[in-house]
Structures are given as structure tokens and as C-alpha cells.
Amino acid sequence: MPNDSRFDRGRPVPSGRLSRLAAIGGLAGSVAGNVLRDGAGRLARGERPRLSDLVLTPRNVTKATDQLARMRGAAMKLGQLLSMDAGELLPPELSEIMARLRADAEPMPRAQLEQVLSRELGADWRSRFEYVSHRPIAAASIGQVHRALTTDGRDVAIKVQYPGIARSIDSDVDNVAAVLRMSGLIPRHLDVSPLLDAAKAQLREEADYGREAEHLTRFGELVAGDERFVVPSLQADLSTRHVLAMSFVDSDPIETAVQMSQGERDRIAAALIDLSLRELFDFRLVQTDPNPANYRIEKETGRIALLDFGATRSFDEALVSRCRDLLRAAKTADRALASEAIVALGLSGPSVPPERHARILDLFAIASAFLRREGPADFANDAALVELRDEALRLSEDRNVYLVPPADPLFLQRKYAGLYLLALRLRARVDLASLLDRHLAAA
């Protein structure tokens, strides 16, 4: 193995239930201590600070971010799943904290990495490789990825799960949610238990690399022959439930496409939006994680490499049919059909005041106008998108929450919001109307 001493001295992932509970408890105690000190000082100056103002100081935000990033796992991912409603359910400060956790996690040190590989691949695992790079090419909340060369000449990427992550999911979610409630970051009247249950289920699935291996293979089959995409091939002999090996795709981050020509940026955005519609309406199998790191550009061919299928979900025909109705309503500007579909999806309902429901429909109408735009819709320079953003911000200012939508529509919303942000970053121009027509006509 090549030597890389920088990964000999990292902070290990806490893998025991008690050590993870202690880390979360220590975080809560540290934040509480800061609140008491800051609050006493401000009261002494005659101020009457709100609790949220005391909790959300730069010092506390940094403390929370650093600790959750060190723990990885569910502790790091929970907020991302809770905030996948684009900030409407939770305070924007929480979304800001969790956005900082989407960057690469701190990798585990070499000794811990080798312990995992020995446990999963056997004590003689080194004999199967010419080398395994100690420096990960990616490190996220569930595991980290290393490039390796096998003794039979295969160039592979190996995703290694952090130890203890799978068995700590339920307790991590419950403990972090408790800390967030105590801090006041989650409104006390809001019942987020359905979302917490969905988060646990999703994280258990993401931690099962055997399941991800099946979806990796399935997506490879589904896009086979489509020259726009490449999916790594599973290396089953090097994979277990906690180690996932696949062929290495020599590629660049999709963010590098920002420097490409307008035509290339348009091509990439259109291909990903088209694929997302195929996933929902044709495959009924959707990779729901919108992290841009899951898309890369193959260096030799320009194909889009599709990575990370841990968050893949299947959707039943009833939900897909409701989504199709919603798109039909967008295409025809049918407000009544839109209202029916939104209620059927659980995004509004009887508990929502009529004036708020009307504002939701107004927001949908703005988005629909963008989708109906004749010719290429310009993500970088379209007044409808500016209006949509401003109206969404105004709607989110109402902190009264009347219902918690079901998890499945939120996962889809998270997926399409991520694609929108990527197309915006690429300053892409995409003929959305034609794309939607094609998929609706095929129904």
C-alpha cells in the first residue's frame, strides 16, 4: 500500500452506542452552557433575547456542525432528510446548519479503515490487491470511497462503511431529534415522528450495501444503450453488506461543467431532467439523493457517470399517477386538477387554511408557467424563477405548520429541487415543455 501518513492520525468514527450517545450529550451540554453564559450576559445588559437567538450563535453552529460531522452516520444525515422540504417545515437556520454538513466528512484513520476491510473481506484481504489508496476519493455520512487495483488488474472504487453506523441509526435519529427539540429548532407543536420513521427506514436502506449493489446493477441495466450515461459495474467478489466495490470511472465533478460551452451545459441538464422523468414514470425506481457528487463527467466520452444508489426508492403506481396528474395540470394550467393532485399527494389538506392552500396553488401556477415556456427555458435568466423564489420565501415566513406531508412526496420534492439547483448552477437552457410532452404522451 502507498503510504499516506495524513490518514494515520484522523479521529476515529465513534462506533459504540454509548460513545455516540455521549458525543451527542456532550454537544447538547456544550450548547446549553453557551446559551446560559450568553443569556446571562445579555440579560445583564438589559436585553431580553429569544432562545433561538442564543442557540443559533456562530459558536454553537460551528460546534454542532463539527460534532455531527465527526460522528457521521445518521447524526450527520438526519437534518438533511428533515429539511428536504426546502425549508418550509423547519427554521431556515436549521437548514443552514445542515447545508454545512453536505460537504465531505472527515475520513476515518487508516487503522480503522483496515479493521473494517479485515472484518469484511477477511484477514488476508491485502493479497487481493496490488494497492488500496489510503486517501479516500470521497467521504460522506455513511462511508468513504477508496480507489484500488486488484491483483487481476481491475481498477476499482471501494466504498467502505464506517463501523457501527448501521446499528446506531435508530438511537442517533432519536437523540439528535431530542437535542433539536430541546434547542427549539423544531417547533414543539410539530409532530415530525412520521419523518423520523422515514429517516430511520431510509438510513437503514442506505447502510445496506447489498441492497445498493442490487440497485447499482439494476440502473446499469435500465440505462444500458443510452450513450448519455455510464453506471459503474458491480464487483461482487469484493462486496459485502458493508463494503461495495465497483469499476472505477475516470471522471470529473459535474461542477466542472460550469466552465463548458452553453451547448454542453444544456446537454447535461436536459439529460439529467429527462432521466429523472424516466425514473419516475417508466422505471418507478428513483435515485432520490440530489447531491451533485452523485453525478460526474467521464473524461474520455463526456458521458454522465451515475453514482451512489443507496437512496434509491420504488414508488407505487398510485403515487406515480398523482404526479402525472400534477404535471398535466401544469401543462394545461388546470388549477382544479392541480388542487386535487396536491391534496392527493398529501402536500395540502383539510387542516390547511384556505388562504394558505390558495397561496400554494399560486406558487404552483408560477412554476407551471416556467414549465410551459415555449422553446428552451433559461434557468439563469427567467423572471418566473425569480418570482417563484420570492413567493416561496414569503410563504415560508409563515412558521405555522398545519400538516407534515408524507415521506414519498418529500423524497421526490428533494430530488427535483436538487436538479433545479444543478440546472441553475449550470445556467442551462432546456426545452422542458417538449420533455414533459414526451413523457405525458407515453403514459
Q: Which residues have C-beta within 8 Å of that of residue 178, sequence separation ≥ 6?
A: none
Residue 188 to residue 181: CA distance in whole angstroms: 7
Tell which residue, 364, 396, 421, 410, has the closest CA to residue 89. 396
Q: Which tens digit of pLDDT belongs to each residue from 226-238?
A: 999 999 999 999 9
Which of 197 and 434 is assigned the larger pLDDT?
A: 434
**Most confidently predicted of 33-42, 121-130, 199-208, 363-372:** 121-130
CA dihedral 140, 141, 142, 145 (to 10 degrees): 10
Q: Which residues have C-beta within 8 Å of that of residue 304, sequence separation ≥ 6?
A: 228, 229, 230, 254, 268, 271, 272, 295, 296, 297, 298
Containing 295, the helix (H) or strand (E) segment is strand 295-298
List 266, 289, 308, 325, catalytic entry: 289
Percent of the chain with pLDDT over 90: 45
Residues facing residue 404 across a β-bridge: none
Q: Which tens digit of pLDDT belongs to each residue from 339-392?
A: 999 999 999 989 889 998 999 999 899 889 888 888 898 998 877 777 777 777
Cell numbers 457521521: residue: 72
Residue 18 to residue 38: CA distance in whole angstroms: 30
Instruction: Specify whether 408 is catalytic.
Output: no
Residue 150 to residue 127: CA distance in whole angstroms: 9
- Provide the pLDDT for residue 163: 86
Round the average pLDDT of the chain to a whole number and report it: 79
Per 3-state DSSP, the chain is made up of helix, strand and coil in percentages (nearest 5) of 60, 10, 30
For residue 163, which amino acid is it? P
Residues 149 and 131 sit within 8 Å (Cβ to Cβ): yes
- What's the full length of the chain, in residues? 443
Residue 116 DSSP SS3: helix
SS (H, E, C) 200-215: HHHHHHHCCHHHHHHH
- Provide the pLDDT for residue 50: 46
The pTM of this model reads 0.79
Q: Residue 35 is placed in which grid cell? A: 446559551
289 Cα distance to chain centroid: 4
Q: Which tens digit of pLDDT belongs to each residue from 126-141?
A: 999 999 998 899 877 7
For residue 7, what pLDDT band results from cuts at 50, 70 and 90?
Answer: very low
As a whole number, mean pLDDT of residues 392-406 equals 69
Residues 223 and 229 sit within 8 Å (Cβ to Cβ): yes
